[in-house]
Structure 1
Amino acid sequence: MTDYFAPTGGLPPQTQLMTGRAVFTDAYAFIPRGVFSDIVTSFLPGWDKTRLWIIARPMTGFSETFSQYVMEVAPGGGASAPENDPSVQSVLFFTQGSATLTLQGQTHTLTAGSYAYIPAGSDWSLHNMGTQNACFHWIRKIWEPAPGIEKPTPLILNDHDIAPTPMPDTNGAWATTRFVDPNDLRHDMHVTVVTFQPGGVIPFEETHVMEHGLYVLEGKAVYKLNQDWVEVEGGDFMWLRAFCPQACYAAGPGPFRYLLYKDVNRHANLRGPLNPR
């Protein structure tokens, strides 16, 4: 059974050295798990007994397509109207605990490994009826209509039920768990789980238009971000702007897995963030 990392909050002792691994550049940001302290949590209107870490948000000149939250909902907490923007689609990915999702009148129990795709404009709610904190990632993106393309339908899936797709010529050392068919053009974002077996690599510097959020679910590796090799482990987050070179070498004794966001299947926006469609 996969053991997904979820932050616990807290505050380092006064005796701890303040120098850490956090980095913010004009090409990428690296937020190590030690940054997830109580004093950097946020709260949202309409959410009861809930705190969150906002680890990505649109920023002009950096990444502009998505936001990503690490949510922690205490027992009895949740929201009856989580989303206040009808143009926003969401993906929820659970790492700990459980919660009840009501989506378009249907009720679902989400547990560790659960993936929920929530189309823009959906009527949904989420409540933690259990006895431990429910922890999950909430990724939000404005859905971009396209001629002849219908809005996607809801999806409720689980990482444990989907066989990873090996990358060609890797003998399974590098594989991707896909929750959405890559040929389904209704979707303008993909959220997947990428798995490297020990010794697996990205054998070239990927340099592409897609923006990325990469949250390490388990294991450790060294990851190339622009010109820097960075040691990463479960609970770390990497945030890459478009065309930031990247590569990876899985250096740990067990699998290295991360939750990956990328924007796909639409024209590049020529008007820029100040002049949207």
Structure 2
Amino acid sequence: MTASPYNPPCGGLPPQTALMTGRAVFTEAYAVIPRGVMSDIVTSVLPFWEHTQAWMLARPLSGFSETFAQYLVTLAPGGGSERPEPDPEAQAVLFVVEGQARLVRDGQVHALTPGAYAYLPPGTTWSLRNDGAGPTRFHWIRKAYTPVPGLEVPPAFVTHETAVAPVPMPGTDGAWATTRFVAPDDLRHDMHVNIVALRPGASIPFEETHVMEHGLFILEGKAVYRLNRDWVEVQAGDFLWLRAYCPQACYAGGPGPFRYLLYKDVNRHALLSPFRGRR
């Protein structure tokens, strides 16, 4: 059977005979939530969502990453919501990794399958429902939109990763490529959610150190990641949470591709107002 290009299912509970020692770590610069700790007992239930469980992988946290929240959501058959988003300032990206879902956006109906990607700007009226016979899993990334006078709010859109050609990074001959669902120079957008892919043996060959925060969910494969001062082994189903300026690099381990869903905040000035008036 061909392996799925998306992360394996999570949930359940380890047996009493399992060792507690694992790969989970939380530091001042990054966190690693391995797939093995995403059990059912750490899920959340959400208001106005039926037959739904959510792993809250990231949330704004003072002193750490502060711009976004990311959930991995499972809908049982019939599950979903007619009132999904409580925050009128929130924008969202939905990325489906298993099953099927029916998205209704401002009256338009979209059938979502694995690899489907939806961008929903603030103020969008939307609902989501699993009409299938099996579970549906998707990532829900939320960020309060930062408006800029003179720039319009970007429109909603729905696409699929197969409809977007990956862009090779310069000088890599395609060994390192990024599927960009939004053009980098579209200043209406203040966040990007991309898919990064590396062939076996390829690398991010320098320690990126930058202002953008990251949520990084591994969809496929394995790698060794440099995070701040540490080398960390990661695999499909793991989640990495990187604070701004955390040094980062990686080697893709093979034998297949290494791919991950990547969040970052972009295209806005640094916020100075919290520090005004301090001496």
Task: Give the aligned partner of residue 146 of structure 1.
Answer: 148
Equivalent position of 2:90 in the other structure? 88
Q: Which residue identity lines up with residue 5 of structure 1 in the other structure?
A: N
What residue is the counterpart of 2:46 in the other structure? 44
| Matched AA of 1:89 | Q
2:228 corresponds, among 226, 229, 245, to: 226
One of 168, 171, 175 as aligned partner of 1:169: 171
Which residue does 1:212 correspond to in 2? 214
Structural mapping, 1:105-254, within 5 Å: 105-254=107-256
Question: What do the CA deviations read for 1:1-55 (whole angstroms, capped 9, x no partner)?
Answer: 8521143300000001001000000100000000110110100010000001000
Instruction: Encode CA deviations 1:75-133: one digit per residue, 9 max, x unaligned.
Output: 00100010011100000000000000000110000110000000101100000000111
Q: Any idea what SS the aligned residue of 1:160 has? A: helix
Matches within 5 A, 1:30-41: 30-41=32-43
Measured against aligned partners, the alpha-carbon deviations of 1:154-188 in whole angstroms (never above 9, x if no partner) come to 11011122111000000111000010011110000
**C-alpha RMSD over aligned residues:** 1.4
Contact 1:6 1:135 in 2 (8 A): no
Structure 2: distance between partners of 1:158 and 1:84: 26
Structure 1 residues not aligned, in runs of 5+: none
Q: Contact 1:159–1:177 (CA<8 Å) still a contact in 2?
A: yes
In structure 1, the residue corresponding to 2:273 is in which secondary structure?
A: coil
Q: Separation in 1 of the partners of 2:274 and 2:5?
A: 40
Count of matched residue pairs = 275
2:10–2:35 contact (8 Å) kept in structure 1:
no
Asked if structure 2 preserves the Cα contact closer than 8 Å seen for 1:67 and 1:141, the reply is yes
TM-score under structure 1 length normalisation: 0.97
Instruction: Select 1:74's aligned residue among 68, 73, 76.
Output: 76
8 Å contact kept, 2:199–2:257: yes
Partner of 1:29, secondary structure, is strand
Give identity over the alignment, percent. Answer: 65
Contact kept? 1:7, 1:36, Cα under 8 Å: no
Deviation at 1:272, TM superposition (A): 3.7
Q: Pick one of 247, 265, 270 that aligns with 2:272.
A: 270
Matched letter for residue 26 of structure 1: E
Residue number among 8, 15, 19 corresponding to 1:13 in the alignment: 15
Equivalent residue number for residue 261 of structure 1: 263
In structure 1, distance between residues paired with 2:8 and 2:70: 14
Question: For 1:132 and 1:19, how far apart are their aligned partners in 2?
Answer: 33
